[in-house]
Structure 1
Amino acid sequence: MKSNQIFVESEFAPLKRVVLAQSQFSLPARINKETEQFLTEDSLKALEGAEGKDIADAFPALQNKWEVEKENFEKILQKYKVEILRPRLLTKEEKVEGKEDGYSNFFARDPFFVIGQMIIEGSMKLGHRKKEVMPIRHILEQESEKNKCLYLSVPQADRSGDFFNMKGPFLEGGDVLVLNKEIFVGTSGLASNHEGIVWLRNFLSNFGYTVTEVPLHPKILHLDCALSLVKDGLMIVCEEAFLEDIPETLKNWDKISVSLEDAQKLITNGLPINEDVYVTDMEFQSIGEQLTKKGVTVEYTDYRISRGFGGSFRCTTQPLLRFNE
């Protein structure tokens, strides 16, 4: 495994290499509250006046604080000797092209994901996120050249029809949770859909994986906004977010339960560094205290601005290497 730097075994296997997102975001010129319903009212209010603008231009002081959040998070990752790769910044041309629909370069989790030795480019549903993989693609190309892995992409999506009836397939990394040979994929109507899950299931079945579809509450964007696999046998979970109960494999796990309201604040979107260390926002001391009682060391840092834009620690990272030696 030392010669191969692409492998993800589970959500909590020791994190060794990761892509950490940049901090670039422009809202669409017109915000559709129906498709952005995963954002809290506080978030929508805070973003008023920024429609069609880069956050750096609309709120420069906020942009600076946002970048500091990433720097502080990066220091925690470095503390545990995690190798960090960063996407490139968007070009001027990319920003001009995305002015109407908006653009996003701050979610490394969703535009691609890694399962075992497979790098898979996703298919994004929200219009301003369609090209989110582009600032990351050079990393994926380099990594696939250097390592023994498969590198492929979800089929191009059929985007005809209204937002909630587009066929796709859609598949986003925030919906994909890896637990050894079982892969959980959420679907709320806002991101990944059944067609994307069918494609993934058919592909991964060739490599001994099973894929479990997890229907979600429509105010939950991704599965990782409702479920965090902290370590083997322990999870943080919003049971209200699951339309068809918790997946069977996880029913006997020890659980720390949270409300739907807290799930929307991304309380489950912390990041395990390994089974002994978990990163979360300093606002979520109540979760941290419960984890500490269960033998987990908790690292706190302020990630309020990132969360206000709809993504926390897991959302802004995508592991390239997570395995037990």
Structure 2
Amino acid sequence: MLKLNVKNETSRLRAVILGTAESNGSPPSVEDCYDPKSIEHVLAGTYPKEADMILEMDAVAAVFKKYDVQVFRPHVIKDCNQIFSRDIAFVIEDKIIRANILPNREAEVEAIRYVWNQVDRKNRIVLPPECHVEGGDVMPWNDYIFIGTYSGEDYPELITARTNMDAVIAIQELFPNKTVKSFELRKSNTNARENALHLDCCFQPIGKGKAIIHKNGFLIEREYNWLVNFFGKENVFEINKEEMYNMNSNIFSISEDVIISEKTFTRLNTWLNKQGFIVEEVPYSEISKQEGLLRCTTMPLIRD
């Protein structure tokens, strides 16, 4: 049996699901894209190639091996995009919660069934169907659970709106001892620079009490200010619109001291080094063309 344990984003990682780019299928049509950045690259003819993405994910797998992290991979489904393992489930404390994801991604859930089945049955949670949630919007942070959401009336029209208030309430009920704090995110089906697909596309806590943040990703300035005050202005690295577009907030912590980051994130990586972090740099720019990066492709199961 797997004894799950995830209390925050930065404790030492012991086991993780890393997505796979194998048998990713041919580039989607515009109608089949789930986000504006993928659409951009489909139209420009620059949609990422499977071979390039496999190499990028291999680089991450090598870092996990270096730090002695147990890595699970989804069973490969022919012609299916299985890169973003964070979308399909997430762990809080000792519970694994299945995401109610876009309906045509059911197969991805089946591909990690063998991991799900290793968890004690009482700790496998399937939320009611009206609760929409994806793991990129959910961040356990010790006594808090931060959740990105969108509650505008146009929610049904926005394929980029992935987590609703029903899910926020359900997660609060599951973890009554934690403070669930939700944040309204800016959504756009058409402009990737104005779209925070998930909370981890515009915010992520790192280390012992630092954070990366992009102000424009938040619809309500008061909620953005709450986060800055929570971490302290001096502990927050503000990224600009271009850096958000390139997914600078979507890095991944192996521990409080070690972070996997994209090698072209020069400004961020320099700052991380100055703060005393060990930065494991990997190439991930092809994967980022689908509006997801390191946090999106990883789903932690056990942290110390």
Structure 1 match to 2:6: 8
The one of 236, 239, 258 aligned to 2:212: 236
Structure 2 match to 1:195: 166
Map Cα deviations across residues 164-221 of structure 1 (whole Å, 9 max, x no partner): xxxx32110000011012101102452111122122122222xx12211111111111
Cα contact 2:96–2:124 (8 A) shared by 1: yes
- Alignment of 1:75 with 2:97, yes or no, is no
Map Cα deviations across residues 132-156 of structure 1 (whole Å, 9 max, x no partner): 31111221112336xxx61111222
How far apart are the structure 2 equivalents of 1:239 and 1:65?
Answer: 32
Per the normalisation by structure 2, the TM-score is: 0.85
Q: Which runs of 4+ in 1 moved over 6 A?
A: none
What SS does structure 1 have at the residue aligned with 2:71? Answer: strand
Unaligned ranges ≥5, structure 1: 49-58, 96-102, 157-167
Aligned AA (1:68): L
Cα contact 1:214–1:247 (8 A) shared by 2: no
Unaligned ranges ≥5, structure 2: 156-160, 188-194
Superposed displacement of residue 104, structure 1: 2.8
Structure 2 match to 1:221: 197
The one of 240, 248, 260 aligned to 2:226: 248
**Structure-2 change in CA distance of 1:195 and 1:247 (3 Å):** farther
- Alignment of 1:180 with 2:142, yes or no, is yes
What SS does structure 2 have at the residue aligned with 1:132? Answer: helix
How far apart are the structure 2 equivalents of 1:211 and 1:64?
Answer: 40
The one of 82, 92, 97 aligned to 1:120: 97
**Structure-2 change in CA distance of 1:73 and 1:4 (3 Å):** closer
Cα contact 1:176–1:223 (8 A) shared by 2: yes
Cα contact 2:29–2:42 (8 A) shared by 1: no
Match runs of 1:1-325 below 5 Å: 5-23=3-21, 24-26=23-25, 28-31=28-31, 36-37=35-36, 39=38, 41-42=40-41, 44-46=43-45, 62-90=49-77, 103-125=80-102, 127-144=103-120, 150-156=123-129, 168-188=130-150, 189=155, 190-205=161-176, 208-218=177-187, 219-244=195-220, 245-246=223-224, 248=226, 250-253=228-231, 254-323=235-304
Superposed displacement of residue 234, structure 1: 0.6
What SS does structure 2 have at the residue aligned with 1:274? Answer: coil
Superposed displacement of residue 322, structure 1: 1.1
Cα contact 1:39–1:264 (8 A) shared by 2: no
Aligned AA (1:15): L
**Structure-2 change in CA distance of 1:240 and 1:71 (3 Å):** same
Cα contact 2:30–2:43 (8 A) shared by 1: no
How far apart are the structure 1 equivalents of 2:200 and 2:81?
Answer: 19
Map Cα deviations across residues 209-265 of structure 1 (whole Å, 9 max, x no partner): 221111111111100111111112211110111112327365242110011332122
How far apart are the structure 1 equivalents of 2:172 and 2:119?
Answer: 24
How many residue pairs get matched? Answer: 281
Aligned AA (1:74): A
What SS does structure 2 have at the residue aligned with 1:314? Answer: coil
Structure 2 match to 1:54: none
How far apart are the structure 2 equivalents of 1:217 and 1:247?
Answer: 15
Superposed displacement of residue 295, structure 1: 0.8
Q: Sequence identity of aligned pairs in percent?
A: 26
